[in-house]
């Protein structure tokens, strides 16, 4: 029996929501999601394939998956966490801290170590990492975001926080 496109989309979104609700501020690589657990018993087996094809999960071993930063971002958007006061406050603190680094800079981007950004903003390094690597600022807020470099330094473009131009 073929499953309708709407049911497949709903099932994929439901799986993302269930995984994302469980994350909190835990590093994504520390969380394993078992497809056969009670939490996911009504998620279609083919949905797990589609989650991987979309880049939302990674296969770990027998019916066990990790959520990727792309999956986390999509789940957070589905949950509308950026509109919920607690998360919104953390996001504003982080963005304010990053914005402070580029005030008065017209010539180039600014750099801020992840550890220092966490200390100054009061936002955990894990959450900052998820927000930046998942491009949450760009995708959920439609604003220019920052990037986390391989040496755990945040690269903050001089246009950080500005609304993205529509094309």
CATH code for position 35: 1.10.10
pLDDT attached to residue 3: 82
| Segment holding 33, helix H or strand E | strand 33-34
Contact 59, 24 (CB under 8 A): no
Residue 65 sits in the same domain as residue 86: no
For 160, the token pair is 């950080």
pLDDT at 2 over 90: no
Q: Please give the residue range of the domain that contains residue 146.
A: 80-156
Residue 85 sits in the same domain as residue 148: yes
pLDDT at 167 over 70: no
Confidence band of 83 (pLDDT split at 50, 70, 90): very high
Domain count, the chain: 2
Characterise 160 by phi-psi region: left (phi > 0), alpha (psi -120 to 50), beta (else).
beta
Contact 133, 69 (CB under 8 A): yes
Q: Which of 79, 77, 78, 97 is nearest to 137 (CA)?
A: 77
What are phi and psi for residue 66, nearest 5 degrees?
-110, 145
- Percentage, residues of the chain above pLDDT 70: 98
Residue 54 sits in the same domain as residue 10: yes
Q: What is the mean pLDDT of residues 13-18?
A: 97
Confidence band of 1 (pLDDT split at 50, 70, 90): low
């Amino acid at each position: 029996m073929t499953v309708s496109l709407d049911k497949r989309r709903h099932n994929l979104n439901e799986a993302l929501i269930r995984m994302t609700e469980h994350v909190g501020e835990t590093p994504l690589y520390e969380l394993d999601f078992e497809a056969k657990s009670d939490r996911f018993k009504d998620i279609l087996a083919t949905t797990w394939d589609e989650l991987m094809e979309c880049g939302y999960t990674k296969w770990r071993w027998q019916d066990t998956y990790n959520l990727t930063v792309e999956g986390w971002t999509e789940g957070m958007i589905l949950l509308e966490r950026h509109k919920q006061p607690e998360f919104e406050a953390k996001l504003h603190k982080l963005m304010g801290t990053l914005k402070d680094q580029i005030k008065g800079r017209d010539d180039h981007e600014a750099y801020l170590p992840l550890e220092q950004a966490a200390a100054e903003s009061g936002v955990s390094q894990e959450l900052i990492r998820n927000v930046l690597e998942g491009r949450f600022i760009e995708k959920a807020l439609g604003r220019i975001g920052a990037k986390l470099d391989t040496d755990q330094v945040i690269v903050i473009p001089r246009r950080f926080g500005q609304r993205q131009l529509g094309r």
